[in-house]
């Protein structure tokens, strides 16, 4: 099982940080993400919304399973290649000084059909790097 935890304090209000990070278009700031968007069959952004994307070596479909702006949201990978057994990813937004502290946690395994332990070793190195890049891009976009 892989448990990822990335965090950053961003000098911007929680509502703006939440909105920026909840928009799948901004996932494209990750080095490996090529496309990310709301799925065509998705309900409006919020609870139940579906995000899809392509990354180098990965296709994913995620459902927003908890949505509490501007405090937190949780997503679940419901389809992917390679396969993920995803327990969920949660972004939590906490007021800190003049900014917002973001905690991003995700827990998953790769079943044998998705590359098993070898894929876990690779993704455990690549995903935190990409999560951090998204948080850095958010700070760059929103900080004065």
The whole-number pLDDT of residue 92 equals 98
The whole-number pLDDT of residue 85 equals 97
The whole-number pLDDT of residue 27 equals 97
The whole-number pLDDT of residue 80 equals 96
Fold of domain 2-142: Alpha-D-Glucose-1,6-Bisphosphate; Chain A, domain 4 (3.30.530)
The whole-number pLDDT of residue 128 equals 97
The whole-number pLDDT of residue 122 equals 94
Q: Residue 48 phi/psi, 5° resolution?
A: 90, -10
The whole-number pLDDT of residue 5 equals 98
For the chain, the DSSP string reads -EEEEEEEEESS-HHHHHHHHH-GGGGGGSTTEEEEEE-TT--SSSTT-EEEEEETTEEEEEEEEEEETTTEEEEEEEEEES--EEEEEEEEEEEETTEEEEEEEEEEE--GGGTHHHHHHHHHHHHHHHHHHHHHHHHHHH--
Kindly report the pTM of this predicted structure.
0.95
| pLDDT tens series, the chain, 144 aa | 999 999 999 999 999 999 999 999 999 999 999 999 999 999 999 999 999 999 999 999 999 999 999 999 999 999 999 999 999 999 999 999 999 999 999 999 999 999 999 999 999 999 999 999 999 999 999 999
- The residue ranges of every structural domain in the chain are 2-142
């Amino acid at each position: 099982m892989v448990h990822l935890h990335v965090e950053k304090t961003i000098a911007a209000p929680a509502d703006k940080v939440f909105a920026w990070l909840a928009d799948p278009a901004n996932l494209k700031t990750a080095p490996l993400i090529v496309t990310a968007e709301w799925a065509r069959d998705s309900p409006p952004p919020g609870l139940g919304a579906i995000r899809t994307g392509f990354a180098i070596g990965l296709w994913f479909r995620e459902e927003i399973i908890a949505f509490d702006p501007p405090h937190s949201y949780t997503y679940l990978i419901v389809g992917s290649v390679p396969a993920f057994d995803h327990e969920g990813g949660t972004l939590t937004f906490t007021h800190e000084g003049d900014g917002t502290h973001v905690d991003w946690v995700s827990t998953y395994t790769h079943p044998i059909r998705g590359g098993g332990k070898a894929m876990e070793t690779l993704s455990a190195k690549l995903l935190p790097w990409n999560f951090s890049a998204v948080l850095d891009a958010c700070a760059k976009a929103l900080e004065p």
